[in-house]
Amino acid sequence: MNRTHLQRLEAESIHILREVVAECERPVMMYSIGKDSATMLHLARKAFYPSPPPFPLLHVDTTWKFRDMYAMRDRMARETGTELLVWQNPEAKAQGINPFDHGSQVHTDTWKTQGLKQALDHYGFDAAFGGARRDEEKSRAKERVFSFRSDQHRWDPKAQRPELWSLYNARKRAGESIRVFPISNWTELDVWQYIYLEDIPIVPLYFAAERPVVERNGTLLMVDDERFRLRPGEQPVPRKIRFRTLGCYPLSGAIESGADTLPAIIQEMLLARTSERQGRMIDHDESASMEKKKQEGYF
């Protein structure tokens, strides 16, 4: 009897989730509400059934997510019986950091990168699950499943450990922490197919619908609330759009699409073949920017 590739991936991810819970003192799951987070949370439900996942969910909030995302977040925490922790960087809040005045780089760094470090320090988590995949971007191809961070959250390439078989070394000193990526070996197609097969709830923004949109520098931006700053001459118009990735709404580029079912989304993805992160504007600010962000502590 042969298991399918998805069954093997699922078994591997569950193994990783359980290993962290068995070996770490205070794990947490980074929950960013996107499809990869949804998949990871679903795997956690399966791994620990009939117990609820034995760790809290942590949402490092920027206050600029789509409203649909906040609704999904609260719903999933309720349905899974998991504790939800929301962290909003108090300094970013005090300074009113936003994508319009400060640009995507400062906005993301302050709310997300700094916010994440603050949250991990505040709660004293020693292991944090993240939904990153190796196929997302070339520089992630070499990322380990267990990624070690110093007590300053720095990623030191020389301190990373070889990963043989399915033996993960989770030992660390006080203050050090691990980022763990249980779905490292999944591709974008695997994630979508799994969501389809397992009927995993995802944010409606992934499905095409008429939404108020402005076009800016060739990017379609959705006007999700009244904080969106229209430039002179800009007027939101309803267009049938959807999102391939979700983040802060002023930084998430939409695509025009009629795909309103999962098979249609997958079909569109396979035929369009524009790689996933292109929709995320944070990657375009600097070349090799993911690599830099990682060293600074971003996922």
Partner 1 sequence: MSNASDLIASDIEAYLRQHEHKSLLRFITCGSVDDGKSTLIGRLLFDAKMLFEDQLAAIEADSKKWGTQGGDIDFALLVDGLAAEREQGITIDVAYRYFSTDQRKFIVADTPGHEQYTRNMITGASTADVAVILIDARRGVLTQTRRHSFLVSLIGIRSVVLAINKMDLVDYDEAVFNRIVADYRVFAQQVGLEDITAIPLSALKGDNMLQQSARTPWYTGPTLMGWLETVEVDEERRQRAPMRLGVQWVNRPNLDFRGFTGRLASGEVRPGDRVRIQPSGRESTVARIVSADGDLPLAIAGDSITLTLTDEVDVSRGDVISGADDPPEVADQFEATLVWMSEEPMYPGRVYLLKIGTRTVNATITEPKYRINVNTLERLAAKQLTLNEIGEVNLSLDRQIAFEPYTVSREMGGFILIDRQSNATVGAGMLRFALRRAHNIHLQHVDVNKAARAAQKGQRPCVVWFTGLSGAGKSTIANLLEKRLHAEGRHTYLLDGDNVRHGLNRDLGFTEADRVENIRRVAEVAGLMVDAGLIVITAFISPFRAERAIARGRVAEDEFVEVHVDTPLDVAEQRDVKGLYKKARRGELKNFTGIDSPYEAPEDPELRVNTAEITAEEAADMVVARLRELGVIA
Tokens (6 digits) for 256: 């025009």
**Is 152 a residue that touches partner 1 (CB under 8 A)?**
no
Binding residues among 101-130 for partner 1 as defined by CB under 8 A:
none
Radius of gyration of the chain (CA): 19
**Is 51 a residue that touches partner 1 (CB under 8 A)?**
yes
**Is 84 a residue that touches partner 1 (CB under 8 A)?**
no
Q: Which of 105, 139, 150, 219 binds partner 1 (CB under 8 A)?
A: 139
Q: Which of 114, 193, 252, 257 binds partner 1 (CB under 8 A)?
A: 193
Name which of 4 and 95 has its Cβ closer to partner 1.
4
The nearest distance, CB 289 to partner 1, in angstroms, is 10
The nearest distance, CB 214 to partner 1, in angstroms, is 23
Name which of 158 and 231 has its Cβ closer to partner 1.
158
Q: Which of 96, 141, 217, 218 binds partner 1 (CB under 8 A)?
A: 141
**Is 138 a residue that touches partner 1 (CB under 8 A)?**
yes
Report which residue type is found at 272: A
**Is 142 a residue that touches partner 1 (CB under 8 A)?**
yes
Binding residues among 195-234 for partner 1 as defined by CB under 8 A:
196-197
Q: Which of 25, 94, 164, 231 binds partner 1 (CB under 8 A)?
A: 164
DSSP output for the chain: ----HHHHHHHHHHHHHHHHHHH-SSEEEE---SHHHHHHHHHHHHHHTTSPPSS-EEEEE-S-B-HHHHHHHHHHHHHHT--EEEEE-HHHHHHT--HHHHHHHHHHIIIIIIHHHHHHHHHT-SEEE----GGGSGGGTT--SEEEE-TT--B-GGG----BTTB------TT-EEEE-TTTT--HHHHHHHHHHHT----GGGS-EEEEEEEETTEEEE--STT--PPTT---EEEEEE-SS-SBGGGB-BEE----SHHHHHHHHHHH---GGGGBGGGGSSTTHHHHHHHHT--
The nearest distance, CB 235 to partner 1, in angstroms, is 29
Beta-carbon contacts of 153 under 8 Å, excluding residues fewer than 6 positions away, are 117, 120, 177, 297
**What is d(CA 19, CA 259) in angstroms, rounded to the nearest whole number?**
38
Name which of 14 and 106 has its Cβ closer to partner 1.
14
Kindly report the backbone phi and psi dihedral angles of residue 62, in degrees, each rounded to the nearest multiple of 5, phi listed first. -110, 0
Stretch that binds partner 1, among 26-34, 69-77, 180-188, 205-213 (CB under 8 A): 180-188
Q: Which of 25, 173, 217, 235 binds partner 1 (CB under 8 A)?
A: 173
Name which of 160 and 219 has its Cβ closer to partner 1.
160
The nearest distance, CB 174 to partner 1, in angstroms, is 8
Judge whether 29 and 128 are in contact, CB under 8 Å.
Answer: yes
Binding residues among 269-288 for partner 1 as defined by CB under 8 A:
270-275, 278, 287-288
Binding residues among 53-72 for partner 1 as defined by CB under 8 A:
none
Interface contacts to partner 1, rule CB under 8 A: 1-12, 14-15, 18-19, 21-22, 45-52, 134-135, 138-139, 141-142, 157, 159-167, 169, 171-173, 184-185, 187, 189-190, 193, 196-197, 263-264, 266-267, 270-275, 278, 287-288, 291
